[in-house]
């Protein structure tokens, strides 16, 4: 992109339709021609400072971007959002104002040609279908051109910008040439209303509205074919061209007042209704039809540049917002030509609707351009100040500070209506500003909710400021509305007095008239107060909601931080403990090895003693390392239970055998009992269960003084799911017991009580490992202890009863016998018993109850592995089918079904397996898994569907078996 294109973009965004209207209708009556020129010059200089800040920031921005990017860089994403929110409405408003202005050119060139189709009125503006459709087509065409032929659009932009500026200059030059004594013709040079400084200040206050165009340059910086430092020069040229255009377009109707009046003051006093475009009317009066043609050509150029320039700029701003999570992701997607095509098309489509809403609404929105521009300038300058101060660049910092002050003045003048005689914005514009601010809060709430990276919500100040802006805007609206109503009432009274002059109005009539007028005002105030209260309440509610969400998030972050710190502390403590516990045996090994090496009179016997001690220390070290590895596996959840049928009574016998000698050596009364067990055989990881009981028993023996008592018992009983048996292992001793403080952390790794540690070796990992194992088995471990009196450890765990446990028909004690067999209404083989593999405890209970309701016996397995081992240990024919949940820990449904199909016993491997899954459309996946499922039932489960699937699978399996039998026969 060349400097000329960048200039055309900036100039195009600044000078549009309004440049041909506002100088004659607003600037001239406000400050006169000279006041306008002075105000414009000062304003342009002030904006020159802002342009310098844009340049400064553009050189520091890694990506293309304007005030949004700069605010984000300097102050964070919250500020970036606010800047972007107001820039977007600013550029949209300019685009919409120029889109709807196309109709004026058409009316001038073609008269009422396009006034066909339906017509309606919006806020006093007559909308014709034909005209609105033409305007929509124009803006869509501009968008399509930007998408399809960006190069062509850029060329058109430059040509149109040159046409606009050239047309204005030519019109001005010809008007000067045709006007006798052009300077004198412009008298009076100032307006006669407010004091001169206020007149000039009023023009300066309008400058942000007049020069919205800097963003167009900074957002295009990634396509620059020139260094970023030249940005200032481009902006300065666009500023100068813009200022000159506004001044010339003010001078034209001042030199040649429309309507043939002697001076512009008379023309202005006559009103602008007859000449809505004063520059065109003035040019026509001075030059004739050529003047009109020149202005129309320039106007076409200005509107064209605005349509193309603003569409491109808006699409870039929206893309930047999208890339930063402020708009949906898809908007940022670029087309094959690298342009944000979706964003361009969205801009075009949204703008295509606007012409059907008429121009009055747009003129209200356009008024808040100045606010949006001032906010963007303020953010850019503040960012420049921050960066310059950090870089110790005094000149740039001064420019940044000056820019902030200038922007603050702009905002103050615009937002405080009483500074000038009339407000700088129309009454409704304040309301629009308030509503836009509130919409910003609502949108931010959504952005904030989807902010997974926690980028937003870091600055509460910015949201307080936005709330203050909403309050100010709505208050200003109320104030201005009240002033309008008062003026309207005075006008009505004046007219009434004029209408009755001569005849006079009776006192009663006058009272009634005034009361009527007051009633109108009162109604208006009540209505507007209600709107004001509703908007303020909604904004406050949004802020409170935002704040509470923010607080929740902060609390959560704080919690995570504390957790991270605790984890870090635990890690450090772990390393310290590991280091300590490894050093103890290592010191022994090194020490005794050193003694063996240096002992001059080493006897064979002493050498054996050293070697035995080294071996013991090595064993201790090895056990420690094993324990560490095991604990790590258990805590990380990578440890896998290996369930298999296990005889718990035999397990207790094993514990007795293991510790009987040790207990006798310590002269302990050692007692192991497991009387009255209903079920001896269960499916569990017997090795690990034995390890838990052994750990507890070993500790009890270790910490019980000679003469004491250690008791290990196993009882069956308590609540358990069908097919399960509940057991309680109790290890009690009359040993040294534990302090209450130590008891609370006895199951933590590396915890040893001071006085107890001196009595025995060990790293303090055994209890932690025991707890992890028990919890992994779905059980609990508890402790009751008293210092000096002993301890009682209790392990409660429920385990599935093994299939080879005698008792029930079919050979499974875990299955309730004697129930009516279940079958479907369609008949088919009766379903008597089912093995259910389901990990979720609630779902297990639901399925169990459903089966029970149909008299079907069942056994539950909490994962695929347990299901496989339960089936493997069951007698053939115990189960009619297996209900297999697809997603389970340890072993999922597909793996478990494959394991079943791989069993050597065909009466087990050919059992019907029905998949259970929450994926309603997953039956295809089930088929595709190739695991050998016979059916599929989706959750939520329905008993009829469940039975249907089971019986169907059983029927198919029987038919298949029969067919195989016949073939073999």
Partner 1 sequence: MDGEELIDALEGRGCKVREAIEGTFMGDAGFYLRMLRKLPQSKCFSRLEAAMATGVVRDVFESAHELKGLYANLGLTPLCALASEITEIARAGHVDGAPGKFEKLGGLHAECLALLA
Q: Which residue ranges make up the site for partner 1 (CB under 8 A)?
A: 449-450, 452, 839-843, 845-846, 849-850, 853, 885, 887, 889, 916-919, 939-943
Least Å from the CB of residue 796 to partner 1: 16
Backbone angles phi, psi at 15, to 5 degrees: -110, 110
Q: Which residue lies nearer to partner 1 by CB, 696 or 937?
A: 937
| Residue 440 region by backbone torsions, left for phi larger than 0, else alpha for psi between -120 and 50, else beta | alpha
DSSP type of residue 821: P
**How crowded is residue 386: how many other Cβ atoms within 10 Å of its Cβ?**
17
Least Å from the CB of residue 376 to partner 1: 30
Cβ neighbourhood burial of 501 (10 Å; 0-12, 13-18, 19+) = exposed
Rounded to whole angstroms, how far apart are CA atoms 618 and 948?
A: 63
Least Å from the CB of residue 359 to partner 1: 40
Least Å from the CB of residue 446 to partner 1: 10
CB 794 within 8 A of CB 728: yes
- When computed from its CA atoms, the radius of gyration of the chain, rounded to whole angstroms, is 44
**How crowded is residue 215: how many other Cβ atoms within 10 Å of its Cβ?**
28
Least Å from the CB of residue 892 to partner 1: 8
Q: Which residue lies nearer to partner 1 by CB, 528 or 844?
A: 844
Q: Which residues of 709-742 are buried (b: 16+ CB within 10 A; e: fewer)?
A: bbbbebbbeeebbbbbbbbebbbbbbbbbbeeeb
Least Å from the CB of residue 939 to partner 1: 4
CB 340 within 8 A of CB 333: yes
CB 701 within 8 A of CB 668: yes
Tokens at residue 675, please?
A: 């009387």
Q: Which residue lies nearer to partner 1 by CB, 550 or 644?
A: 550
Rounded to whole angstroms, how far apart are CA atoms 310 and 98?
A: 10
Least Å from the CB of residue 562 to partner 1: 14
Least Å from the CB of residue 450 to partner 1: 5
Least Å from the CB of residue 927 to partner 1: 18
Total residue length of the chain = 969
Question: How many C-alpha atoms does 869 have within 13 Å on its Cβ side?
Answer: 22
Q: Which residue lies nearer to partner 1 by CB, 821 or 840?
A: 840
CB 294 within 8 A of CB 165: no
Least Å from the CB of residue 841 to partner 1: 7
Rounded to whole angstroms, how far apart are CA atoms 348 and 143?
A: 5
Q: What angle do CA 346, 349, 354 make, to 5 degrees?
A: 125
Distances from the Cα of 752 to the Cα of 202, 467, 739, 853, angstroms: 81, 58, 11, 52
Q: Which residue lies nearer to partner 1 by CB, 360 or 843?
A: 843
Rounded to whole angstroms, how far apart are CA atoms 232 and 48?
A: 8
| Residue-by-residue DSSP string for 88-122 | HHHHHHHHHHHHHHHHHHHHHHHGGGG--S-EEEE
DSSP type of residue 801: B
Rounded to whole angstroms, how far apart are CA atoms 520 and 528?
A: 12
Q: Which residue lies nearer to partner 1 by CB, 876 or 889?
A: 889
Q: Which residue lies nearer to partner 1 by CB, 271 or 940?
A: 940
Q: Which residue lies nearer to partner 1 by CB, 874 or 892?
A: 892
Answer whether the bond into residue 929 is a cis peptide, omega within 30°: no
Report which of 691, 685, 678 is spatially closest to residue 724, judged by C-alpha positions: 678
Q: Which residue lies nearer to partner 1 by CB, 641 or 808?
A: 641
Q: What angle do CA 93, 96, 98 make, to 5 degrees?
A: 110
Q: Which residue lies nearer to partner 1 by CB, 715 or 775?
A: 775
Q: Which residue lies nearer to partner 1 by CB, 735 or 779?
A: 779
Q: Which residue lies nearer to partner 1 by CB, 570 or 959?
A: 570
Report which of 930, 850, 844, 836 is spatially closest to residue 884, judged by C-alpha positions: 836
Rounded to whole angstroms, how far apart are CA atoms 423 and 430?
A: 10
Least Å from the CB of residue 482 to partner 1: 43
Q: Which residue lies nearer to partner 1 by CB, 344 or 850?
A: 850
Least Å from the CB of residue 920 to partner 1: 9
Q: Which residue lies nearer to partner 1 by CB, 483 or 553?
A: 553
Rounded to whole angstroms, how far apart are CA atoms 168 and 113?
A: 27
Q: Which residue lies nearer to partner 1 by CB, 367 or 721?
A: 721
CB 437 within 8 A of CB 471: no
Tokens at residue 160, please?
A: 């149109």
Least Å from the CB of residue 253 to partner 1: 56
Q: Which residue lies nearer to partner 1 by CB, 853 or 907?
A: 853
Least Å from the CB of residue 548 to partner 1: 13
Least Å from the CB of residue 822 to partner 1: 13
CB 705 within 8 A of CB 736: yes
């Amino acid at each position: 992109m060349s400097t000329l294109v960048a200039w055309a973009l900036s100039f195009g965004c600044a000078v549009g339709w309004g440049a041909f209207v506002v100088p004659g209708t607003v600037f001239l009556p406000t400050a006169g021609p000279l006041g306008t020129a002075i105000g414009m010059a000062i304003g342009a200089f002030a904006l020159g400072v802002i342009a310098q800040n844009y340049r400064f920031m553009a050189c520091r921005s890694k990506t293309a971007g304007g005030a949004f990017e700069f605010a984000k860089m300097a102050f964070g994403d919250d500020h970036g959002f606010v800047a972007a929110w107001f820039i977007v409405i600013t550029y949209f408003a300019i685009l919409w104002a120029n889109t709807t202005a196309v109709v004026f050119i058409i009316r001038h060139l073609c008269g009422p040609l396009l006034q066909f189709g339906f017509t309606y009125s919006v806020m006093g503006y007559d909308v014709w279908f034909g005209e609105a459709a033409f305007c929509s087509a124009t803006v869509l065409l501009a968008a399509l051109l930007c998408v399809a032929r960006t190069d062509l659009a850029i060329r058109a932009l430059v040509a149109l910008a040159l046409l606009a500026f050239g047309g204005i200059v030519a019109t001005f030059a010809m008007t000067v040439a045709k006007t006798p004594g052009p300077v004198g013709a412009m008298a009076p040079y100032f307006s006669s209303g407010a004091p001169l400084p206020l007149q000039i200040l009023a023009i300066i206050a309008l400058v942000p509205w007049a020069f919205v165009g800097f963003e167009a340059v900074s957002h295009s910086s990634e396509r620059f074919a020139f260094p970023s430092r030249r940005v200032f020069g481009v902006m300065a040229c666009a500023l100068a061209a813009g200022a000159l255009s506004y001044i010339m377009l003010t001078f034209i109707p001042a030199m040649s007042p429309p309507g043939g009046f002697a001076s512009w003051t008379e023309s202005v006093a006559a009103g602008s209704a007859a000449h809505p475009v004063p520059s065109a009317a003035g040019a026509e009066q001075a030059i004739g039809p050529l003047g009109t043609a020149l202005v129309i050509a320039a106007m076409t150029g200005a509107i064209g540049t605005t349509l193309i320039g603003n569409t491109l700029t808006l699409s870039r701003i929206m893309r930047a917002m999208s890339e930063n999570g402020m708009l949906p992701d898809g908007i940022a997607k670029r087309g094959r030509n690298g342009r944000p095509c979706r964003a361009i098309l969205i801009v075009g489509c949204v703008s295509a609707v606007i012409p059907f809403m008429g121009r009055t609404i747009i003129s209200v929105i356009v008024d808040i351009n100045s606010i949006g521009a001032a906010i963007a300038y303020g953010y850019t300058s503040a960012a420049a100040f921050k960066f310059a101060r950090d870089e110790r660049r005094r000149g740039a910092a001064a420019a940044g500070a000056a820019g902030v002050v200038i922007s603050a003045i702009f905002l103050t003048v615009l937002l405080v209506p009483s500074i000038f005689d009339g407000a700088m914005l129309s009454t409704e514009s304040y309301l629009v500003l308030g509503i836009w601010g509130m919409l910003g809060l609502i949108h931010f709430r959504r952005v904030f909710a989807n902010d997974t990276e926690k980028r937003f919500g870091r600055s509460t100040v910015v949201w307080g400021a936005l709330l203050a802006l909403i309050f100010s805007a709505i208050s200003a609206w109320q104030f201005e509305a009240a002033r309008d109503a008062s003026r309207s009432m005075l006008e009505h009274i004046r007219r009434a007095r004029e209408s009755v002059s001569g005849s006079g109005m009776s006192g009663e009539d006058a009272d009634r008239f005034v009361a009527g007028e007051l009633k109108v005002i009162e109604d208006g105030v009540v209505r507007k107060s209600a709107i004001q209260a509703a908007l303020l309440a909604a904004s406050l509610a949004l802020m409170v909601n935002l704040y509470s969400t923010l607080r929740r998030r902060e609390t959560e972050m704080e919690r995570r931080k504390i957790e991270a710190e605790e984890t870090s502390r635990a890690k450090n403590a772990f390393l310290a403990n590991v280091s300590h516990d490894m050093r103890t045996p290592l010191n022994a090994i090194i020490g005794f090895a050193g003694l063996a090496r240096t002992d001059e009179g080493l006897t064979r016997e002493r050498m054996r003693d050293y070697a035995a001690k080294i071996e013991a220390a090595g064993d201790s070290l090895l056990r420690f390392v094993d324990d560490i590895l095991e604990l790590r596996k258990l805590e990380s959840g990578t440890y896998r239970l290996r369930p298999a049928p296990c005889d718990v009574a035999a397990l207790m016998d094993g514990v007795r055998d293991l510790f009987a000698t040790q207990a006798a050596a310590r002269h302990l009364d050692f007692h192991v009992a497991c009387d009255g067990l209903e079920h001896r055989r269960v499916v569990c990881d017997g090795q690990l269960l034995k390890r838990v009981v052994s750990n507890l028993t070993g500790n009890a023996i270790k910490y019980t003084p000679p003469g004491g008592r250690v008791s290990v018992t196993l009882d069956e009983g308590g609540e358990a799911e069908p097919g399960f048996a509940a057991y309680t292992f109790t290890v009690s001793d009359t040993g040294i017991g534990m302090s209450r403080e130590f008891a609370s952390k006895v199951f933590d790794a590396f915890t040893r009580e001071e006085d107890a540690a001196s009595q025995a070796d060990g790293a303090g990992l055994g209890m932690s490992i025991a707890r992890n194992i028990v919890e992994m088995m779905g059980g609990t471990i508890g402790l009751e202890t008293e210092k000096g009196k002993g301890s009682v450890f209790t392990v409660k765990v429920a385990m599935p009863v093994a299939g080879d446990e005698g008792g029930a028909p079919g050979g499974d004690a875990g299955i309730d016998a004697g129930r009516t067999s279940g079958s479907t209404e369609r008949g088919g083989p009766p379903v008597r018993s089912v093995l259910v593999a389901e990990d979720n405890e609630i779902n297990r209970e639901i399925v169990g109850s459903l089966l029970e309701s149909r008299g079907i016996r069942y056994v539950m397995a909490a994962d695929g592995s347990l299901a496989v081992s339960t089936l493997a240990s069951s007698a053939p024919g115990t189960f009619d089918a297996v209900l297999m949940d697809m997603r389970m820990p340890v072993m999922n449904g597909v793996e478990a079904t494959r394991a079943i199909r791989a069993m050597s016993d065909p009466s087990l491997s050919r059992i019907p397996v029905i998949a259970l899954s929450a994926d309603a459309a997953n039956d295809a996946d089930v088929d595709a898994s190739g695991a050998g499922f016979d059916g599929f039932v989706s959750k939520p489960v329905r008993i009829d569907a469940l039975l249907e699937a089971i019986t169907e699978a059983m029927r198919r399996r029987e038919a298949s078996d029969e067919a195989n039998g016949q073939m073999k026969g």
